[in-house]
Chains A and B, each alone.
Chain A
Amino acid sequence: MGLELAPKQSHVLPDMEELSFTDSELDYHVRNALKAAVQGDRDFYNQLVAVMHHKERLVPEEVALLVTCLKGLTGAVSCMHIVHHRSLLAAIFGMSLWNYGTDVMDALVELLISLAASSGDYVDLCLEMIVSNFIPPSSSSSYFIELLKQPRGLAMKGQVLDRLHSTLKDIANLVPLSPLRLEKIVRDRMPNIYMKEPFIVIYVENMLKLESGAMHELVGSTMLVAIMDRLIDLDVEIAWDDILQDDFCKGIFDMELEDLEKTDYHVQQDGDELARESFIQRFLGGNLIAEKLDSLMVLTFEHLTSCSESGRLIQVFETLLYSFQKTVLTAYKSKFTQFVMFYACSLDPENCGKIFASTLLEIFVSSIYPEWRMSAVAYLASYLARAKFVSVSFVGATLESIVNWCYDYCKDQDGDVNPRAHKVFYAGCQGIMYVLCFRMRSMLSIPRLKSQLLLMHIENIIGHPLNPLQVCLPSIVEEFLRLAKANHVFTVPQTFVDYGLLESECSRAFGGVQRLDMFFPFDPCLLRKSDRYIRPNFVYWSMVRSTYNEDDEEEGTSVEDIADASENGMNIVDDGSARSFGEGFLDLDEFDTSLNKMSITPRDSSSKFGGGIRGFMQMPSRIRPSTSPESL
């Protein structure tokens, strides 16, 4: 394809006739046009600008013309001047890859690389154009939103994004300092929380691609930190404190999402689904911000999975942990963003899981801001209680550290109950009790941990004049005392043996304005899509509570042994195949009797969430070990 060029003498506007030019001739003509434009003769130059503006439904000749012009310009970048060729440059930088086919895309990115490398003036402009191409043009947003739901739209997205990222890499090869400017541009142009969901998702997808791409050492951490910031921004916008407050403080251990599914044996599957749905609907129904947060978190989870597969999780986790300490920990009662950390830990319990817990412990023990310390111990307690992948021995060791701190603290105190002054102490005590509510059985079933537990100074702390039992949140204290009594572990001061003498005013006092006394960060995630990733690794209260129901059955511990065994480094695999059991697995007979006594609906959870890639193994698989005949 070629152009007929107007000879300067006759001022005839060129037509689009077919002539073939070699590349060098084309360069020559385009250069002449550019140089002539500087002198004042802008005929061909204006034609070039007009060609750049073609974008609607291009016929093949127009496509070929556009490609040819772009190629010609690529060869002539040294003649371009940022002022004299302003309109041409504006036309080029206004083009969007999403509007064209692959031929034009390729030619355009070649031109961008050439421009960026030719002069420092154009580097920022080229990078900004590429970053603004991360999302489809806003002028036809509804068209693209529809298109992206179809397979051909996804294919187009793949083509565009691949080209954009390889262009960034090529520019970085030629202009080594460009990643520095790129990260600033990407961060500045990040969509705000009010932009439409598909566009935010695509932009974050691009950021994650940069994080895992060739430039990950240079820009990766900035991308992750910016994404976490945006997640927190969305999180904070979800306003549900008032609604949730009433229900949750009545009984933390009474109502959890999972419970709504399990009422009696004959509950229909649809009914369960509806119940859960209505619960979610009530709090987050139609909440666009929640949907955006949900989608972004799922993207992040997928990215973390791929990082884990490529062996990069530790480095990524360092950045996440830093971001967590800076923004999530300090945010006012973050609702869901912390599950990013939870998921990352679940992918690598040995390293990331332990680092997370020890960092939180460190903050609790030695930070200088009381709110951060209370927040950290709330996170730690919730994490130890809820993370299925954390081994019981690790829980025991961490618990001991918290207990030791609390014991050292109250050893030197001789005052009375004073919630405000000793709020960090009370937060620590509440954390201890919360963890024990979930883990007491499993700890007691292992002799070594049982003795460790009994040697801890928990009784001293409980019996101290500072009186944590009076100050901490009543529902937790009640549950803890009930368990302590049932397991005959701790001797409790007499006044608290009867329930109902507990006041809630004190807990409000120590919790402060932020109500950190009611902060349980890893309570079940209410975001629909994200929850699917979290469920396999999550401990629900119902799982634990049902095993406590037989207070006078010593054999009830055998079920916890299985829970134990699965916690000891075995992830629940969805095919229910043969599993080995670790320490603490006792008699099959005792186990069978307790099995019959349990009032647990054998739930077929695989059908609930549409099956999915991860089959959710809840109680049924856990109480049906491979050695029992039924499961074979």
Chain B
Amino acid sequence: MEGLKESEANLVVYLHPSMAKCVNDAILRELSSLLFMYSETFDGVVLAYDPNVRSNLAKILPGIHPYLGVRLKAKLLLFSPKPNMLLEGEVVKISRQSIHAVILGFSSAVIADEDIRDEFKYKVKHGKEVFGSRHHKKHKIKVGTIIRFLVKSFDEEILHISGSLVAVHTGCARWLDTNLEEWSQADSTTRKRKDRDEKEQKIADDKMMANREMPFLKKDDRIKKLKKKRKEHT
């Protein structure tokens, strides 16, 4: 999975004088206030830190409250997804229009249906919603699957990722890993023909739906009866 990196940062932590007795705790508390927030300086979301205070000396700032400036080096684990990075996350919700996943337990990702390639078809099987691949029966995406997807955009404030399953090397992570070799050797020409056929079908469907905007007079009576039935139910 891309997007995770480790950095070394030189930091100065300013502590209130009342913390002078418990400097280590205070430093850890200050660093923990950085967690799960996107930081411009680090260019990423801080996930973990490992501080290393080098010396016992700290500079005292002049001012009303003489804050102590403690210098330290810290190793930081940062998460900074950029567009076109490949990420993995667990699916938590599937609907006809979208797949929702959670990355690393804290970041939410959504893949809208226009970003899901046509290979995947939405079905409801045994009451559960699934996106199944048309080409490979075993390639399924359902709630609990770990999926691999490309990043489209990243909202830094709420740590929300918008992703896409358009590229061919995206989908269910486990299936991709086990079937990688067979998949890359598969007959690419037959698959292209299948895709083209599906695209044509979809365009025909769209045209039909556009034509349906004008109501057919014949249907009115039947529909009025349907409406009456519904009224009785409510």
- Which A residues are CB-close (under 8 A) to B227? 1, 18
Judge whether B107 and A78 touch: CB under 8 Å.
no
A17-B215, A174-B92 known; A123-B158 Cβ under 8 A? yes
Q: Which of A23, A120, A173 contacts B158 (CB 8 A)?
A: A120
Report if B125 contacts A (CB, 8 A). Answer: no
- In the complex, are the beta carbons of A28 and B234 less than 8 A apart? no
B211 to chain A: closest residue by CB: A7
Contacts A120-B155, A121-B155; is A177 near B106 (CB within 8 Å)? yes
Whether A366 sits at the interface, judged by CB under 8 Å, is no
Q: How many contacting A-B pairs (Cβ < 8 A)?
A: 82
User: Once bound together, how far apart are the Cα atoms of A1 and B224, in whole Å?
Assistant: 10
Given known contacts A75-B97, A117-B98, A177 and B112 CB-to-CB distance under 8 angstroms:
no
B101 nearest CB across to chain A (Å): 9
Q: A175 within 8 Å of B by Cβ?
A: yes
Contact B224 A174 (CB under 8 A): no
A118 touches B112 (CB 8 A): yes
Q: A117-B93, A175-B158 are in contact. Are A78 and B112 (CB under 8 A)?
A: yes
Complex alpha-carbon distance, A25 and B210, angstroms:
10
Looking at the assembled complex, report how far the CB atom of B158 sits from the nearest CB atom of chain A, in whole angstroms.
Answer: 4
- Say whether B106 contacts A24, CB under 8 Å: no
CB of B105 within 8 A of CB of A123, answer no
Interface residue B113 (Cβ < 8 Å from any Cβ of A): yes
Q: Is the CB of B96 within 8 A of A75?
A: yes
Find residues 87-114 in chain B having any chain A CB closer than 8 Å to their own CB: 92-93, 95-98, 100, 102, 105-108, 110, 112-114
Cβ 8 A contact of B209, one of A18, A25, A114: A25
Residue B36 is within 8 A (CB to CB) of chain A in the complex: yes
List of B residues within 8 angstroms of A174 by Cβ:
92-93, 100, 102, 108
| A window 1-29: CB within 8 A of B | 1, 4-5, 7, 17-20, 23-25, 27-28
Is B223 interfacial (CB 8 A cutoff)?
Answer: yes
The residues of A that contact B110 with a CB separation of less than 8 Å are: 117-119
Q: 8 Å CB contacts to B: which residues of A102-156? A: 114, 117-121, 123-124
User: Which B residues are in CB contact (< 8 Å) with A18?
Assistant: 223-224, 226-227
Contact indicator A177/B92 (Cβ below 8 Å): no
Given contacts A1-B230, A7-B213, A120-B157, contact A176 B93 (CB under 8 A): no
> What's the nearest-Cβ distance from chain A to residue B18, in Å?
12
* B33 → chain A closest CB, angstroms: 12
Q: Of all chain B residues, which has the CB nearest A7?
A: B213
Interface centre among B113, B213, B223, B231 (most CB of A within 10 A): B213
Asked if A5 meets B213 with Cβ closer than 8 Å, knowing A117-B100, A120-B157, A177-B158, the reply is: yes
A174 to B92, CA, bound (A): 7
Contact with A along B132-144 (1 / 0, CB 8 A): 0000000000000
Residues of B within 8 A of A78 (CB): 97-98, 112-114
Q: Which residues of B contact A24 (CB under 8 A)?
A: 96
Q: Which residues of A contact B162 (CB under 8 A)?
A: 119
Please, what's the 1-or-0 string for A20-51, where 1 marks a CB less than 8 Å from any CB in chain B?
10011101100000000000000000000000
A60 touches B234 (CB 8 A): yes
Tell me if B86 is interfacial: C-beta within 8 Å of chain A: no
* Interface pair B155/A177, CB less than 8 Å apart: no
Alpha-carbon distance between A25 and B102 when the two chains are bound, in angstroms: 30
The CA of A392 and the CA of B151, in the complex, are separated in Å by 67
A77 within 8 A of B: yes
Task: Tell me if B160 is interfacial: C-beta within 8 Å of chain A.
Answer: yes
- Decide yes or no: A176 and B106 within 8 Å by CB, A24-B96, A25-B209, A77-B97 being known contacts: yes
B212 at the binding interface (Cβ < 8 Å): yes
Give the residue name and chain of the A residue nearest to B113 (CB): A78
Of the listed residues A75, A118, A121, the one surrounded by the most CB atoms of chain B closer than 10 A to its CB is A118
Q: Per-residue CB proximity of B206-232 to A under 8 Å, as 1/0?
A: 000100111100000001101100110
User: In chain A, residues 306-325, which have Cβ atoms closer than 8 Å to a Cβ of chain B?
Assistant: none
Q: Tell me the residues in window 72-119 of chain A with beta carbons closer than 8 Å to chain B beta carbons.
A: 75-78, 114, 117-119
Q: Which of B149-164 contact A (CB under 8 A)?
A: 155, 157-160, 162
Chain A positions 192-232 with a Cβ under 8 Å from a chain B Cβ: none
Question: Bound state CA distance, A119 and B160, in angstroms?
Answer: 7
Q: A7-B213, A78-B112, A120-B160 are in contact. Are A20 and B226 (CB under 8 A)?
A: yes
Known A7-B214, A25-B212, A173-B92: A117·B226 in contact at CB below 8 Å: no
Residues of B within 8 A of A64 (CB): 230, 234
Question: B215–A176 contact, CB under 8 A?
Answer: no
* Contact partners of A175 in chain B: CB under 8 A: 108, 158, 160
Which B residue sits closest to A32, measured CB to CB? B210
Q: Which residues of A contact B160 (CB under 8 A)?
A: 119-120, 123, 175
- The CA of A78 and the CA of B164, in the complex, are separated in Å by 13
A75 to B106, CA, bound (A): 25
CB distance from A23 to the nearest CB of B (A): 8
Docked-complex contact B102 and A176, CB < 8 angstroms = yes
Given A7-B214, A24-B96, A118-B112, A177:B209 Cβ within 8 A: no
Contact A119 B98 (CB under 8 A): no
Q: Is the Cβ of B215 less than 8 Å from the Cβ of A4?
A: yes
**What is the CB-to-nearest-CB distance from A10 to chain B, in angstroms, rounded to a whole number?**
10
Q: A5-B213, A120-B155 are in contact. Are A60 and B93 (CB under 8 A)?
A: no
Contact assessment for A19 and B158 in the assembled complex, using a CB-CB cutoff below 8 Å: no
Give chain A residues whose Cβ lies under 8 Å from the Cβ of B215: 4, 17, 19
The smallest beta-carbon distance between B156 and chain A, in angstroms, is 8
Report A63 CB to chain B, min CB distance, Å. 8
User: Per-position contact with B for A163-187: 1 when CB-CB < 8 Å, else 0?
Assistant: 0000000000111110011000000
CB–CB B114/A20 < 8 A = no
A177 near B159 with CB under 8 A, answer yes
List A contacts of B108 (CB < 8 A): 117, 174-177
* Nearest-Cβ distance from residue A182 to partner chain B, whole angstroms: 12
User: Shortest beta-carbon distance, A107 to chain B, in Å?
Assistant: 14
What separation, in Å, do the CA atoms of A124 and B158 have in the docked complex?
A: 9
Using Cβ atoms and an 8 Å threshold, which residues of chain B touch A121?
Answer: 155
Within 8 Å CB of A76, what residues of B? 97
Closest to B97 in A: A75
Which A residues are CB-close (under 8 A) to B212?
25
Distance, CA A175 to CA B158, complexed state (A): 9
Residues of B40-54 contacting chain A, CB below 8 A: none
Contact partners of B105 in chain A: CB under 8 A:
176
Give the chain A neighbours of B214 by CB distance below 8 A: 7
Chain B residues within an 8 Å CB radius of A181: 158
**Nearest chain B CB to A316's CB is how many angstroms away?**
24
Given contacts A76-B97, A114-B95, A176-B108, 10 further A-B contacts (CB under 8 A): A7-B214, A18-B226, A23-B96, A27-B97, A78-B97, A117-B93, A120-B159, A123-B160, A174-B102, A176-B102
Chain A contacts to B: CB under 8 angstroms: 1, 4-5, 7, 17-20, 23-25, 27-28, 60, 64, 75-78, 114, 117-121, 123-124, 173-177, 180-181
- A to B CB contacts below 8 Å, 26 in the list: A1-B227, A5-B213, A18-B226, A20-B226, A24-B96, A25-B209, A64-B230, A76-B97, A77-B97, A77-B98, A78-B97, A117-B93, A117-B98, A117-B108, A117-B110, A118-B98, A119-B110, A119-B160, A120-B157, A121-B155, A123-B160, A174-B92, A174-B102, A175-B158, A176-B105, A176-B107
Shortest 8 CB-CB distances between A and B: which pairs?
A120-B155, A120-B158, A120-B160, A78-B112, A175-B108, A18-B227, A176-B106, A174-B100
